[in-house]
Structure 1
């Protein structure tokens, strides 16, 4: 089940986030660290009512944020839909639940949310060295628009018109 987060979810989200960070680190993906994302960022996501979780047996399995916020680097790219878009941020799935279609369900939820709220497209970026994430987005018919440089390296930017 996917639902909006509540502040009481914060400790459990942080536990899953830490598992994800460790799992990525062991795979040689240094995308996330103690600076990003961290407790303050997740807390702000929840307070802004922009965060969603996937639960299974009352346990948090996945997390994502949906909002209209984006980094200034996005302005240099040639997006196909110039206005009315939503951005996916910080999508992660508990390592023991990966490969079971949960990220696909989260993306589908984001697409339905975007359509219901009259957004023309969905945008987001993915660390270029995270091959699994990039493969999922391409499989879901997201179009690679270009790349941007952030603190940790090159990120692929994707868009899907709705």
Structure 2
């Protein structure tokens, strides 16, 4: 799996990945992403800021992710305690194609983001998800993330995690 910066011409494919992920979450009884977010405007901003990436596998787009080194304002209001206060990378909007689920792609995306962070001398990785999103919670646990508390994002409470990159 390799990450490639998303381009404006990828937008329709990215929207399809996001829409499939929304349907998958709904089928799992997860309320996350069911109110319009993330929408086309949000994804266009990711592309414009050069923080949106296509996850390429076998030469085909297998997923989409936002990897941001500019911080997440909602994380400043954590109800709990972060492991560190250093600069961090945050991963948002991970959406995987149904064709590639169950192949360890999410783990590969997290590992690629870690590698990117280390190359920028960033040693903290933060992420959030809905408490109902058991699949993402399992992935985060397997990747060594530690629960740190809750934040309010997208008009709902999210659980927040951090992993220190040594």
Residue 152 of structure 1: how far off its partner (Å): 5.5
Residue 34 of structure 1: how far off its partner (Å): 4.8
Provide the residue aligned with 2:72 in structure 1. Answer: 70
Provide the residue aligned with 1:79 in structure 2. Answer: 82
Asked if structure 1 preserves the Cα contact closer than 8 Å seen for 2:6 and 2:47, the reply is: yes
Asked if structure 1 preserves the Cα contact closer than 8 Å seen for 2:145 and 2:162, the reply is: yes
Gaps in structure 1 of 5+ consecutive residues: none
Superimposed CA distance per residue, residues 65-100 of structure 1 (whole angstroms, 9 cap, x where no aligned partner): 111231335433421220211111111111232111
Provide the residue aligned with 1:136 in structure 2. Answer: 139
Task: Name segments (4+ residues, structure 1) moved above 6 Å.
Answer: none
TM-score by length of 1: 0.92
Provide the residue aligned with 2:127 in structure 1. Answer: 124
Provide the residue aligned with 1:27 in structure 2. Answer: 28
Provide the residue aligned with 1:161 in structure 2. Answer: 164
- Residue 81 of structure 1 aligns to a residue whose secondary structure is coil
Structure 1 residues 49-128: aligned runs within 5 Å: 49-67=50-68, 68-76=70-78, 77-128=80-131
Gaps in structure 2 of 5+ consecutive residues: none
Distance in 2 (CA, whole Å) between partners of 1:54 and 1:160 is: 22
Distance in 1 (CA, whole Å) between partners of 2:42 and 2:153 is: 17
Provide the residue aligned with 1:44 in structure 2. Answer: 45
CA-based RMSD of the aligned residues comes to: 1.6
- Number of aligned residues: 162
